[in-house]
Amino acid sequence: MDLSRFPRRRYTGFDTPLEFLPRFTEALAATCPAGKAPRIWIKRDDMLGLFPGGNKTRKLEFLVADALAQGADTLVTCGAPQSNHCRITLAAAVKEGLKCRFVIEERVPDSYDEQASGNNFMFRLLGVEAITVVPGGSNMAAEMQKVAEEVARAGRKAYIIPGGGSNAIGGLGYVSCAQELQQQMFEQGVRIDRLVVGSGSSGTHGGLVAGFLGNNIRIPITGIGVSRDPADQQPLVLKEAQAVLDLLGVAVRVKPEDVECVGGYWQPKYSVPNQRMVEAVQMLARTEGIPLDPVYTGKIMAGLIGLARDGFFRGDENVLFLHTGGLPSLHAYEREVLGEKKDLPA
């Protein structure tokens, strides 16, 4: 799969580490039936460029390059109040000398606080040009188009990036990740039996599915939903993966069995903490010193832990967890992740 014909900006000068988690594996095994758990590995995409890193960086390498090729001077994107995607898009804009505007969707009513910590602090520190807040369920494409038209009236040119950077161009970032991982496994002599990834706006999950299929990487991918259960999530990922393959001109059709989604770990709502997330964040932090965030990676790791306890994985498997970042939002949920709020849903 040739990515060289697409314009690309480089924001990370190294391959993100592929590491075994011995102490976490031991702690997980102690909570599993018969004391058996798979060997857990991690790929540290939280260490990608555009500090403090995260999966959106890979997508933005292609998206921002496309924006520059089209002569844009302003990036317009959208997300939830503590959006990692918005923060990294803003960081890319700063690095490229562009302006940046957000549309923030209040999926939980009255949840946006301009003065909040976490990513909201980063928005202000990095100098976002303008933020428009809209109610949950708004047509985000239409709302971003309004912002783009406002930019145009000021004599400038906007480039709209969809939520999560999830379109065919953004998905190229995780085709690149699939190729990087394939080379790392070869060089390190590592066998991975299954990859566990978060599944939200679908760009990361769909890009990986496309990359694995197109590069003949025969490793199952399990997507842990962070905002939807499988009946709603699986079609989105399938569509994204196919769009990426079509963009690349690869004559492969994505089949439903190529896209595995797991639900049940994101409730009661997107971005609302639960007890399983708290356990997952604390377990990885206190065994390996690696922080997760409460909105995405904490719930994804909770899914991995739950599947291990339910016997979903074989005891001799090497399971790879893709850490997609999100560190700043951790600081907006400090009491929750420290276990100081006792009324969280299970």
- pLDDT tens, position by position, 77-136: 999 999 999 999 999 999 999 999 999 999 888 899 999 999 999 999 999 999 999 999
pLDDT tens digit sequence for 140-195? 999 999 999 999 999 999 999 999 999 999 999 999 999 999 999 999 999 999 99
Average pLDDT rounded to a whole number, residues 19-46: 96
| Residues composing the chain | 346
CATH of domain 18-54+167-337: 3.40.50.1100
Strand partners, 99: 74
Alpha-carbon distance of 30 to 80, in angstroms, equals 36
pLDDT tens digit sequence for 190-239? 999 999 999 999 999 999 999 999 999 999 999 999 999 999 999 999 99
Out of 83, 199, 227, 271, which one is annotated catalytic?
83
Contact partners, residue 38, CB within 8 Å, separation at least 6:
25, 193, 194, 308, 313, 314, 315, 316, 317, 318, 319
Percent of the chain, pLDDT > 70?
100
Exposed, middle or buried, 188 (CB in 10 Å: 0-12/13-18/19+)?
exposed
Alpha-carbon distance of 238 to 255, in angstroms, equals 8
Q: Where are the alpha helices (DSSP H) in the chain?
A: 22-29, 56-69, 84-96, 119-126, 140-153, 168-188, 203-214, 230-248, 275-288, 297-309, 327-330, 334-337
Strand partners, 130: 101
Domain edges within the chain: 18-54+167-337, 56-164
Alpha-carbon distance of 266 to 248, in angstroms, equals 32
According to CATH, the topology of domain 56-164 is Rossmann fold (3.40.50)
**Identity of the residue numbered 303:** G
Alpha-carbon distance of 316 to 28, in angstroms, equals 14
Alpha-carbon distance of 250 to 63, in angstroms, equals 20
- Four-CA torsion 82, 328, 304, 48, nearest 10 degrees: 110
Q: Is 117 a catalytic residue?
A: no
Residue tagged 């899914």 (tokens): 303
Report how far apart, in Å, the C-alpha atoms of 40 and of each of 195, 223, 301 are.
10, 16, 11
Alpha-carbon distance of 87 to 74, in angstroms, equals 15
Tell me what pLDDT residue 342 has. 86
Alpha-carbon distance of 101 to 324, in angstroms, equals 23
Alpha-carbon distance of 43 to 322, in angstroms, equals 5
Tell me what pLDDT residue 108 has. 86
**Identity of the residue numbered 244:** V
Alpha-carbon distance of 76 to 226, in angstroms, equals 24
Look at strands 39-44 and 18-20 and give their pairing: antiparallel
- Four-CA torsion 83, 88, 90, 92, nearest 10 degrees: -160
Mean pLDDT, rounded, of the chain: 97
In this predicted structure, the answer to whether residue 52 has a pLDDT above a threshold of 90 is no
Same topology, domains 18-54+167-337 and 56-164? Answer is yes
In this predicted structure, the answer to whether residue 264 has a pLDDT above a threshold of 90 is yes
